[in-house]
Amino acid sequence: MQLIYSPIEILNSMKRSIDQEKISKNALSVISKLNKEGFEAYLVGGCIRDLLADNVPKDFDIATNAHPSDIRQIFRNSRIVGKRFQIVHVRFEREIIEVSTFRRLDTKVIENQSDSGMILRDNSFGSLEEDSLRRDFGINAIYYNPISKQLIDLQGGVDDISRKVIKSIGPIDLRLREDPVRMLRAIRISEKLEFELENDIKESIRIEAHLIQDVSPARLFEESLKMFMGGYGARVFLKLKELDVYKWMFPNNGSPVKESNLELLIRKALESTDQRVLRDMPITPTFIYAAILWYPFLAERSRNIKEMGLNNYDASNEAASSVLSKQQLITSIPRRFSTPIKDIWFLQFRLNFRSGKKPFRTLQHKRFRASYDFLLIREAAGEKTGDLGDWWTAYQAASDEERQNFQKFARKKPHTSGFRK
């Protein structure tokens, strides 16, 4: 098997090459400096994978044989970060380039692993070949030096990209046990690039999905953002469901709503987010998490009213806190997102009131727009709201004077949220 290519050969074998123009100038300068200091340095991982697959790279990662302290000395604008493994961030005005030292997998060191085989520390330096072996998938282990134009492919990644498949480096069950987040990476990357997951990857994910429970909530939250905010969230969601991973990240805490209705709402919220990414509009995890947890929240709220005898206001507050804190145990949602999630939920009830001064006050709320969008998503997912969405669409478009007349059409009795039986 050929392992080292020049770009011309890639062009011939894959009918594409690496577009030098798309490579970050900052990354080029880091590699050039490291080379001048006598170190090897390559672009590796997602950036090369995405360039070869005709996608836009998100960030540029560099692997080198220089140690963190060497890198730190060469770049004044740098700092060492990370516990699980140390990497160096080289800072530029608008970009951070991550530089990591070649590593090897030290599976023999028992104290570095948890009982389930999860790798807890991973800081033994190694050669480029050893470094390629500890990466997750062949397509993520292609090394490219954009200055010498040398491409090194020790794990068959170039071939995988041309066949649009994702293959594991080493036995997949072992690799998933070492780091269960690899399941989420496999699903995310396959949906991003529209590549197939090899069958053994799919099978192992189904078997090992429960290991998601061992991953830290902070890391899972970060991963959930990458999965749902990249512009292909709806597809990732369906794949997470198909491979039985979803329930470990978002257990349906007793919502009586039919599974299909629950799914539809989340899918609609994700499809709308995907559309916004496509159009370069701002997006937020708030909206997605609000959709994922909406029915569990409603279920808890109605239990609070029926079984605990709480009033609507207390029932909502208590339910929101309890549903969010249960989810925090799995994906740690920072407060800057959890507070607006509650606002969106609580406003759903206020949107029901269409008479008197209430609609005007609702319109002034800083979270009105997100709440109105959320209402439309609920309707798109089949919730019966009595054409509330249309009413608010017209109300927003109306002049102040016209709004007075809206009162005439306002219904006396607000609809309650949820599906009508």
- Which residues are catalytic, by number? 59, 61, 136
Binding span for ligand ATP by CB under 6 A among 53-61, 108-116, 239-247, 249-257: 53-61
Shortest CB 306 distance to ligand ATP, Å: 45
Residue whose structure tokens are 């009413």: 391
271 binds Mg ion (CB under 5 A): no
Furthest C-alpha separation in the chain:
79
Antiparallel, parallel or unpaired: β 150-153 and 124-125: unpaired
Alpha-carbon span 34 to 286, nearest angstrom: 41
Binding span for ligand ATP by CB under 6 A among 2-10, 135-143, 348-356, 397-405: 135-143
Instruction: Using CB under 5 A, count the residues that bind Mg ion.
Output: 3
Q: With CB cut-offs between 5 and 8 Å by kind, which of ligand ATP, Mg ion, none does residue 33 bind?
A: none
Binding span for ligand ATP by CB under 6 A among 83-91, 105-113, 133-141, 207-215: 133-141
Q: With CB cut-offs between 5 and 8 Å by kind, which of Mg ion, ligand ATP, none does residue 181 bind?
A: ligand ATP
Nearer to ligand ATP, 44 or 319 (CB): 44
112 CB neighbour count, 10 Å cutoff: 16
Shortest CB 316 distance to Mg ion, Å: 40
Alpha-carbon span 280 to 273, nearest angstrom: 10
Alpha helices in 164-311 (DSSP H): 172-178, 181-193, 199-208, 217-228, 233-242, 246-249, 259-278, 285-306
Alpha-carbon span 241 to 237, nearest angstrom: 6
Inter-residue contact 103 to 131 (CB < 8 Å): yes
84 binds ligand ATP (CB under 6 A): no
- What's the DSSP call for residue 414? P
Binding span for ligand ATP by CB under 6 A among 17-25, 179-187, 298-306, 404-412: 179-187
281: tokens are 């509009």
Alpha-carbon span 211 to 215, nearest angstrom: 7
Nearer to ligand ATP, 200 or 390 (CB): 200
Q: φ, ψ for residue 42 (rounded to 5)?
A: -140, 150
Binding span for ligand ATP by CB under 6 A among 2-10, 181-189, 372-380, 381-389: 181-189
Nearer to ligand ATP, 190 or 371 (CB): 190
135 binds ligand ATP (CB under 6 A): yes
Q: Which of 103, 167, 177, 182 binds ligand ATP (CB under 6 A)?
A: 182
Shortest CB 181 distance to Mg ion, Å: 14
* Chain residue whose CB lies nearest Mg ion: 46
For residue 287, what are the CA distances in angstroms to 167, 228, 339?
33, 11, 12
Alpha-carbon span 177 to 182, nearest angstrom: 9
Measuring CA to CA, which residue among 295, 179, 180, 197 is closest to residue 239?
Answer: 197
Shortest CB 312 distance to ligand ATP, Å: 43
Considering only residues 48 through 107, tell me which ones interact with Mg ion, judged by CB under 5 A: 59
Q: Which of 17, 24, 140, 204 binds ligand ATP (CB under 6 A)?
A: 140
Give the SS3 label for residue 104: strand
Shortest CB 141 distance to ligand ATP, Å: 6
46 binds Mg ion (CB under 5 A): yes
59 binds ligand ATP (CB under 6 A): yes
97 binds ligand ATP (CB under 6 A): no
Q: With CB cut-offs between 5 and 8 Å by kind, which of Mg ion, ligand ATP, none does residue 140 bind?
A: ligand ATP
Antiparallel, parallel or unpaired: β 165-166 and 150-153: unpaired
> What DSSP string runs through 51-88?
HHTT---S--EEEESS-HHHHHHH-TTEEEE-SSS-EE
Element (H, E) at 380: helix 368-380
Shortest CB 99 distance to Mg ion, Å: 12
223 binds ligand ATP (CB under 6 A): no
Nearer to ligand ATP, 176 or 243 (CB): 176
Measuring CA to CA, which residue among 112, 203, 158 is closest to residue 4?
Answer: 158
Q: Which of 40, 136, 153, 343 binds ligand ATP (CB under 6 A)?
A: 136
Antiparallel, parallel or unpaired: β 61-64 and 96-101: parallel
The residues binding Mg ion (CB under 5 A) are: 45-46, 59
| Residues at the contact surface with ligand ATP, assessed by CB under 6 A | 45-46, 58-59, 61, 135-136, 140-141, 179, 181-182, 185, 226
